[in-house]
Amino acid sequence: MKNIFMIIMALVAMVMVSCDEVSHENRLVYVEPPEVGRAVLIEDYTGQYCVNCPRATEEIERLVKEYGDTTVIAVAIHSGPFSKQKGVASPLYTEVGDMYFNKWGLQGQPVGLVDRLYSSMPFSYTDWAAGVNYEIAFKAPVSFYTTTNIAERKATILVQTIGLDSAAVSGKLQVWLVEDSIDSFQLMSDGTRTEHYNHMHVFRTSVNDPWGDDIMVSHGEVVAKSYDFELDPAWVPEHCSVVTFLYDDNGVRQVSKTKLK
C-alpha cells in the first residue's frame, strides 16, 4: 500500500440555473471508496539480552526492503525473560510489552506475531515471510488517515478510520508510539555485547487503552478519534512514529505508520 486515501466523500458542483431547479440531494455525488492493499503488522517480541534477536531484526529489514515500509510495519516489543537480567529490566523493556508477551503465552525469543494470525501458535522469525506473503493477498476493509501535532512534548493524534468493506467492520482500534534510532546495548549472535546497537521501531507506549478502543465503521463512513499524551523526557520526538491498527478475533485487519511531527 503506497498511499492512504484520505478523501472518501466529494462535493461536486453541478450546473444549475437557480437554487430551485436543482435539489440539495442531487448536488452530492457519492464517490466509491477505492480498494486499499493490506499492510501487515509484525510484532517482534525481542530483548537486549537475546543473542538471536538481531537475526530477527535482519529478517525484518529484509522484508521491509522487499515489500516496502508501508506494507510491512514492524514493532519491536522488548519483553519477556531476555529483557531482564538478575531481575533488572533492560532500558527498552516496558510493562505493557510484558503484558502482551504473557497474554499470547509466548515462550522463547525471538518470536513474533504476524497480523496476530494463530496467536496461540506464534511465528518463528524464519516464518515471518510466509505470514506476510499470505496476508498481503487480501484487501483491507478499512484505511487510516492519521495526523499528529506536537508542541512542547505534548502530542495530539487524530485517527480517521475509513470504512472500505461492503459490510460494517468492528473491532478494536489500537494506537501505539514507537521510536527509531535508539542507541543502546545488545547481545549479539556470536555471544559478544555491543554497547552501541541501533534499535529500530521500538515499542514505547500504547497511546490509548493497551487493548484498544471499541470501533465500528460502515462502508464509506469516517470515524474519528483524537488522543492527547505527553512524551517521556527520554524519547526523541523526531524519531517517533504512530502505529495505528484495527484488530478483531481474526487478527489485525489493517495497520499504518505515521511520523510524529
**Domain holding 187: CATH number?**
3.40.30.10
Extended beta strands in 62-153, E state: 72-78, 84-85, 88-89, 111-114, 142-151
**Residue 163 domain-assigned?**
no
Encoded amino acid at 230, one letter:
E
Question: 197: which 3 cell numbers?
Answer: 546497537
> For residue 147, what are the contacts with CB-CB under 8 A and spacing of at least 6?
157, 158, 258
Least confident residue range of 81-85, 116-120, 236-240, 245-249: 116-120
- The C-alpha atoms of residue 6 and residue 14 are separated, in whole angstroms, by 23
**For the whole model, what pTM was predicted?**
0.85
Encoded amino acid at 114, one letter:
V
**Does 104 have pLDDT greater than 60?**
yes
**Residue 126 domain-assigned?**
yes
Q: Which domain does 202 fall in, by range?
A: 36-140+174-210+236-256
Question: In the chain, what percentage of residues exceed pLDDT 70?
Answer: 85
Least confident residue range of 18-32, 108-122, 138-152, 177-191: 18-32
Arithmetic mean of pLDDT, 155-161: 98
Mean pLDDT of the chain: 87
Q: How many helices (H) and strands (E) does the chain have?
A: 3, 17
- The C-alpha atoms of residue 20 and residue 91 are separated, in whole angstroms, by 68
For position 19, what pLDDT does the model report? 33
Q: Greatest CA span in the chain, whole angstroms?
A: 80
- The C-alpha atoms of residue 41 and residue 33 are separated, in whole angstroms, by 23
Least confident residue range of 108-122, 188-202, 224-238: 108-122
For position 12, what pLDDT does the model report? 29
252 touches 116 (CB < 8 A) = yes
- The C-alpha atoms of residue 79 and residue 93 are separated, in whole angstroms, by 6
| Structure confidence by residue, pLDDT tens digits, 34-45 | 566 899 999 999
For position 147, what pLDDT does the model report? 97
For position 35, what pLDDT does the model report? 60
Residue 96: DSSP 8-state? H
How long is the chain?
261
**Residue 72 domain-assigned?**
yes
Question: Phi and psi of 237, rounded to 5°?
Answer: -55, -40
For position 122, what pLDDT does the model report? 74
CA distances from 22 to 12, 13, 19 (A): 13, 11, 6
Report the domain count for the chain. 1
For position 7, what pLDDT does the model report? 34
**Residue 58 domain-assigned?**
yes
- Range picked from 21-30, 76-85, 115-124 for highest mean pLDDT: 76-85
> For residue 132, what are the contacts with CB-CB under 8 A and spacing of at least 6?
40, 42, 63, 67, 72, 114
**Residue 220 domain-assigned?**
no
**Does 65 have pLDDT greater than 80?**
yes
**Residue 218 domain-assigned?**
no
Confidence bin at 18 (pLDDT 50/70/90): very low
